[in-house]
Amino acid sequence: MIPAPFDYHAPATVPEAVALLTRYRDTAKVLAGGQSLLPLLKLRLGAAAQLVDIGRIPGLEYVEERGNTLRIGGCTRESTLERSELVRARYPILLDTAKVIADPVVRNRATVGGNLAHGDPANDHPATMLALGAEVVAVGPKGERTIPVDRFFRGLFEVALEPDEILTEIRIPAPPARSGGAYAKLERKVGDFATAAAAAQVTLGSSGTVERAGLALTNAGATPIRVEAAEAYLKGKKPERATLAEAARLAAQAATPQADRRGTVEYKRQMARVMAQRALESAVARAGGR
Amino acid sequence: MARHAIRLTVNGAAREAEVESRLLLVHLLRDVLRLTGTHIGCDTTHCGACTVLLDGEPVKSCTVLAVQANGRELTTVEGLEQGGKLHPVQEGFMEKHGLQCGYCTPGMLMTGCALLRRNPRPTEQEIREAISGNLCRCTGYVNIVRAMQYAAEHMG
């Protein structure tokens, strides 16, 4: 399959890339790893007259903790995230997530920023970033701004980036002591989008009760879904099995999946519940709660 | 400027081409450079038949633009044999009957080669995970895993 014709630009810096996006506005698309965009262009489900490749801009691939924040460069490959010692040691939820995105060969190209900016509710990082309370950095002609991830996903394939903005960094608050997170995904085979998946991040207080809980769902509606009802319900409670089960039930209630070859609406809602329960239980275990 | 002059290294040799923006890497390899060892399978980023090494990492060349490979180093299945000697992964596929129809083989070889470079003694599980983006419809993977284990034992 051959994409429709387009022109290709390889800016060497972020300002150059922004200038190109400013010039071409709605006719341009940002190309990062290309593992979502190129298939769309090839299938001609999408079109762009101009591709602005940010993959050649140096300095956009990094995973580092500075102060109380984990910073991930927008063009960081999923495979880099997967192999990062820092991620393995301190952010197991990110490792859980990276390992189930597409397949290992695709992950050598796919980027974390692209996984978010593409705005596909079936992508895996959005739920994880919602659970973690992350924010993204967008750079445009007027400079830099930060956008909390829970205001980032606006609709199906629609995010809060302006056409002339580039997602350059993801910022995640470093988890305090007694924190844990996990991502649980049900997929038919490696490389499939989730039938259902859930991300949970939990911080326990000194008395063993939940101080903060983040819970979000993948592929359960037009956008990734943060389950605020479950987060509020868990706060201040002991993370016992029945309590987590009630939070998972609230997650299933928040899910608005569509029937497709992966299953019926009722099946997917049930699987959202099961995935939420599993993610919460692993998160609590990793937080040292059980 | 929908056409671009690109230079890249393919299997150790400097190559140049003038390509359209939309030309896919796999078409550059097969149709322009006439390296037809790299296969096109699903054409939708699933099957991995088109896997090549881009700066040493396996990628699906149906999902990379040729122009994105400008200035980079590529290895295809044609580049595995060195000085008349097959790569241990190739030998493994012969010794352990790692193929039937052979369609997925070039991609499997490239993924296997990259795996062993990164991890010279992979476990069976690690091999299975590494090739989980390369589909084979003949072998059931059993002999492919054995071929890679053979290669691991015979890497110099």
For residues A39 and B45, the answer to whether their CB atoms sit within 8 Å is yes
Per-residue pLDDT of chain B (156 residues; tens, 9 = 90+): 589 999 999 999 999 999 999 999 999 999 999 999 999 999 999 999 999 999 999 999 999 999 999 999 999 999 999 999 999 999 999 999 999 999 999 999 999 999 999 999 999 999 999 999 999 999 999 999 999 999 999 987
Which amino acid is residue A118, in one-letter code? H
pLDDT at B84: 94
- The one-character DSSP state at B46 is S
For residues B54 and A61, what is the distance between their CA atoms, to the nearest angstrom? 17
For residues B108 and A65, what is the distance between their CA atoms, to the nearest angstrom? 36
For residues B23 and B65, the answer to whether their CB atoms sit within 8 Å is yes
Determine whether A246 is exposed, middle or buried from the number of CB atoms within 10 Å of its CB (0-12, 13-18, 19+): middle
Please tell me which of the candidates B24, B57, B132 has its beta carbon nearest to residue A103. Answer: B132
pLDDT < 50 regions, chain A: none
- The one-character DSSP state at B29 is I
pLDDT at A268: 98
For residues A167 and A134, the answer to whether their CB atoms sit within 8 Å is no
User: DSSP string covering chain A, please?
Assistant: --PPP-EEE--SSHHHHHHHHHHHGGGEEEESS-TTHHHHHHTTSS--SEEEEGGG-TT---EEEETTEEEEETT-BHHHHHH-HHHHHH-HHHHHHHHTSS-HHHHTT-BHHHHHHT--TT-SHHHHHHHHT-EEEEEETTEEEEEEGGGTEEETTEES--TT-EEEEEEEEPPPSSEEEEEEEE-SSTTPPPSEEEEEEEEE-TTSSEEEEEEEEESSSSS-EE-HHHHHHHTTS---HHHHHHHHHHHHHH-----BTTB-HHHHHHHHHHHHHHHHHHHHHHTT--
Element at B104 (helix H, strand E): none
3-state class (DSSP) for residue B105: helix
Q: Which sign, positive or negative, has the C-alpha torsion A79, A127, A35, B78?
A: positive
pLDDT at A289: 77
Element at B106 (helix H, strand E): helix B105-118
Kindly identify which residue of chain A lies nearest to residue B42, measuring between CA atoms: A1
Please tell me which of the candidates B43, B54, B130 has its beta carbon nearest to residue A104. Answer: B130
φ and ψ at residue A246, rounded to 5 degrees = -65, -40
| Interface ipTM above 0.85 | yes
For residues A30 and A215, what is the distance between their CA atoms, to the nearest angstrom? 30
For residues B117 and B121, what is the distance between their CA atoms, to the nearest angstrom? 10
State whether residue B133 sits within 8 Å of chain A by CB: yes
pLDDT at A128: 98
- The one-character DSSP state at B35 is -
In the numeric block, which tokens belong to residue B71?
A: 């200035």
**Interchain contact, B24 vs A104, CB within 8 Å:** no
pLDDT of A189-212, one tens digit each? 999 999 999 999 999 999 999 999
Which amino acid is residue A129, in one-letter code? M
| Nearest alpha carbon to residue A144 among A119, A171, A121 | A171
In the numeric block, which tokens belong to residue A122?
A: 């079936």
3-state class (DSSP) for residue B7: strand
For residues B19 and B28, the answer to whether their CB atoms sit within 8 Å is yes
For residues A221 and A203, what is the distance between their CA atoms, to the nearest angstrom? 27
The bridge status of strand A158-159 relative to strand A166-173 is: unpaired
For residues A63 and B32, what is the distance between their CA atoms, to the nearest angstrom? 38
**Interchain contact, B132 vs A7, CB within 8 Å:** no
**Interchain contact, B65 vs A10, CB within 8 Å:** no
Report the first-to-last Cα separation within chain A, whole angstroms. Answer: 51
Please tell me which of the candidates B2, B45, B132 has its beta carbon nearest to residue A39. Answer: B45
pLDDT at B2: 84
pLDDT at A68: 96
Q: Which residues of A touch B (CB under 8 A)?
A: 1-8, 10, 31, 34-35, 38-39, 41-43, 51, 53, 55, 79, 102-106, 108-109, 190-191
For residues A93 and A147, the answer to whether their CB atoms sit within 8 Å is no
| Nearest alpha carbon to residue B67 among A12, A107, A10 | A10
State whether residue B88 sits within 8 Å of chain A by CB: no
- The one-character DSSP state at B31 is I
